[in-house]
Structure 1
Amino acid sequence: MKQIIKVVEVILLITILFTFAMFQGGFVSWFLFYSLTPILLYIFVLLLYPMKNWKVNSKISSTHIHAGQSIDLTITLRRLLPFPIMYVSLEEVCPVTLNRNDIGKEKYHSIANQTIKEQPRTLRKLLFPYFKREMEAEFQITNLPRGKHTFTHVIIEIGDPFGIVKKRYIHSITQEVVVYPMSYPFKWHVVSNQMEEGTKPAQIYDEKLTNIVGGVREYTPGDKFSWIDWKATARKNTMMTKDFEQEKDAQMAIACMVGEENVVKPLVLEASLELSMSILEEARKRKQHVTFHIHGKEIKHFSEQQIMHHIAEVKGYLSTIAPVTKRREQLSIWKHVPKGAFILTIWTKLDQTVVEHMSMLRKREYHPIVCYIRPSKEITMEEKQILQQLRSLQVPYQVITEKDLLKTRWEVRIHK
């Protein structure tokens, strides 16, 4: 209807100018008519110019990235007729899920905040195509937050240089970007010191056993000087080092307990997911036997094979995790983990339920460990008493605060 009204207005204006020139006569009247007629005719044709046959292509540099990283978005417009257009306003409509900025570890300075600051993103560019048949606009979207973000449509607007006519066309084009939780360098403290099946696992640091020699091999850069086997070196006339038996890793389970929406702070949840992802990446790097379990809106289990060979599935699931209305009280990890295994639990809420779960795991001959993420100034006396109960149960624990999260390398230092 607006377009029809504009067409009628232009025709009416041309008619008025012509009538004025006919009745008034003289140089000035006809000069006005001949001067304005080309402009009005251009506006008239612009009103009738079809935009539906424009081809719009959108290309994203990467559809799967990690939180805090950036992507490049390129939009290409192609048209058949080289009709002169003074300007094209191109806008990619961003989903509301991109209103947050993820600035990496620096965000944990504000871990105590109950809400995360949001600001709508605007991706708009002005192009001057004139007679060009192909136009291209590039945008960079930085500091993407965790989640699945779907771009649904592009808004194209053209008009005349005098602002009399503006035509808008919304082109539907769906593209999805999956942003995984970020993983950071992680210092692994809990590994197995067992050499045979059935023995009790013990806690050691990131060091290799050097007391059981399985053979010799050629020297490789990075080997310690003390590992050199001088007899074998003299015999083979080449540098040889001792080859030690590799320790077997104890079966481990990582359990991330997603907190309730009205309790857990948004950045605490992000920290729990990024910590889980960091531990899993370190376990994969070391080829350790580990399973992963999420207790949130639903209970989700990931096997060792999924973690080793299909880690993208795990990351994709973590990208969609949100605080739950009510946390599940059932802890069913033992159904998927053999007895005697380490179970590292990551909590965003500490109450008496945690003590009950850890006591139950101890009775089932597991070795539970508690990681509790909490702003340092908000640790209450009640939570300190719960930590004391865990100590009496001989359950190792660590309270992770913003001070720990801001470190270059994350560590889990268990205090008994």
Structure 2
Amino acid sequence: MKKTLQYLKPLGKFLLLLFLIGITFSFAMFQGGFVSWFLFYSFMPFALYSLFVFLYPLSAFYVERSFEANEFKAGDELKVTVTLSRKIPFPLFYMVMEDVVTDSMFHHSGFQKAKAMIHPGFRKRITLTYIVDELPRGEHIFSAVRFRTGDFFGVFEKEATVECKDKLLVYPSTVDVPYRPLESRYDQGMTTSNVKIQKDTTMATGIREYQPGDRFSWIHWKTFARTNELMTKEFEERQSHDVLIVLDREVSPAFEAMVTFTASMIRSIVKKGAQVGLVSIGEDHVSFPIRGGEEHLSQLSYHLAKVKHDSRFGLGKVLQGEGLNYSQSAAVLVVTSSVSKKMIMSVNQYAKRNSSVVVFLVKRVGEMVTEEEKSVKAYASSRGIRLKVCHEGDFSSAFLEVKRA
């Protein structure tokens, strides 16, 4: 029914305009005189223009959208240029143009829509530029450009939508977070190790006497054949730092700060030559293995650009249900905006696996630590888990203070 009315409404206006033309002509014919014909001839240009506006196809416009750069980070300024071109230079008195884009684009902007009024006139090519002051992180979809125009009397108002699809992926902003390897704590005595020690079995540096527990493949058979004594190859030891980051995706006003902190840590760890993995659990469970390199960094950055705080459960419950798969010697870094004893108890099971576990409690600017959080921090310390409070805008000292702790 509504669609039928949409089609009948312009037709009714068209018939109304023809009726007005007929009325003025009849008045001039029967009344006669200068005034009557002056009114008729004065009305005709406006009436004919309205008829042409009714017949003019707005869909004949060709739309092209361009951006100043190909890659953006949260907080960057975005300049969008929309170019309209047409073949028929019909004089349009005005046109309201709107760039149709997801609402998420304007979360931090002074306006809510990319909308403007232009006066095309006879121009075949029209360019409109607008600027989004501060880009929010995420994937923003530009789907179409919508036009609306009309005649002088407002009798006819035409609207058309021309598809012009573009996707803009805004990566999280990063800050300088100098990474320092965390200490790994072991149950055997009070020893600590700053690194994970691995033997490079591709490079033997010498031989020594066989000791119980040495692998069978490490035996130096040539020496055994010559001396009849078991000897074991010695290998070069290389140091590596494996880190697993767990991102809490529970709904939180500090989530953007958490994503910034996580992206900054990942970038710093990879640049240091270490390996990092990421576990991100919300409506979907996304897990990235512990790896290094620029390609892996790109994959993690792409995920963090699109990730949303859509977890319906607290991190403690999620960890109990999902669990983590990682190397026992990897350090586990938990990034969250809320802590509780239940969550610390869930995290504690990973601290028992010879892993160094640190919980980063991310706070917004000016947000104070509550008494309950201080109590949880003391409880975590008693369980061998370090809890570090990080305020937005002051992430650079995160690893330095953890190291001192």
How would you bin the TM-score normalised by the shorter chain?
Answer: 0.7 to 0.9
Structure 1 unmatched runs, 5+: 103-118, 194-198, 204-245
Match for 2:18 among 11, 30, 35?
A: 11
Match for 2:377 among 368, 387, 398?
A: 387
Deviation at 1:98?
Answer: 2.7
State the Cα deviation string for residues 45-84 of structure 1 (Å, max 9, x = none). Answer: 2211122222222223346422111222222222221222
AA matched with 1:286? K
AA matched with 2:308? I
2:352 counterpart of 1:366 = no
- Number of aligned positions between the proteins: 345
AA matched with 2:388? Q
Closer/same/farther in 2, CA of residues 355 and 40 from structure 1, 3 Å limit = closer
The structure whose residues are more often strand, as a share, is: 2
Aligned residue number for residue 270 of structure 2? 284
Cα distance in 1 between the residues matched to 2:310 and 2:397: 23
Q: After superposition, where does 1:96-175 map in structure 2 within 5 Å?
A: 96-101=103-108, 121-175=112-166
Aligned residue number for residue 44 of structure 1? 51
- State the percentage of identical aligned residues: 24
Closer/same/farther in 2, CA of residues 32 and 326 from structure 1, 3 Å limit = same
Q: After superposition, where does 1:183-262 map in structure 2 within 5 Å?
A: 183-190=174-181, 201-202=193-194, 248-259=239-250, 261=251
Instruction: Return the TM-score normalized by structure 2.
Output: 0.76
Contact 2:179–2:272 under 8 Å retained in 1: no
Deviation at 1:269?
Answer: 1.3
Aligned residue number for residue 321 of structure 1? 308
AA matched with 1:385? S
2:287 counterpart of 1:301 = yes
Aligned residue number for residue 350 of structure 1? 339
RMSD: 2.9
Closer/same/farther in 2, CA of residues 282 and 331 from structure 1, 3 Å limit = farther
Closer/same/farther in 2, CA of residues 63 and 22 from structure 1, 3 Å limit = same
Question: Please, which moves more after superposition, 346-355 or 131-140?
Answer: 346-355
Cα distance in 2 between the residues matched to 1:176 and 1:280: 25
Contact 1:192–1:250 under 8 Å retained in 2: no
2:33 counterpart of 1:26 = yes
Deviation at 1:321?
Answer: 2.0
* Secondary structure of the structure 1 residue equivalent to 2:60: coil
Cα distance in 2 between the residues matched to 1:409 and 1:323: 28
Closer/same/farther in 2, CA of residues 46 and 298 from structure 1, 3 Å limit = closer
Aligned residue number for residue 388 of structure 2? 398
AA matched with 1:311? L
Deviation at 1:342?
Answer: 1.8
Deviation at 1:286?
Answer: 1.7
Cα distance in 1 between the residues matched to 2:301 and 2:124: 42
Instruction: Return the TM-score normalized by structure 1.
Output: 0.74
Question: Please, which moves more after superposition, 12-21 or 72-81?
Answer: 72-81
Closer/same/farther in 2, CA of residues 161 and 297 from structure 1, 3 Å limit = same
Contact 2:274–2:292 under 8 Å retained in 1: no
AA matched with 2:134? N
* Secondary structure of the structure 1 residue equivalent to 2:319: coil
Closer/same/farther in 2, CA of residues 409 and 352 from structure 1, 3 Å limit = closer
State the Cα deviation string for residues 134-189 of structure 1 (Å, max 9, x = none). Answer: 21211112212122222223211122344443211122333222222211111223
Deviation at 1:362?
Answer: 2.6
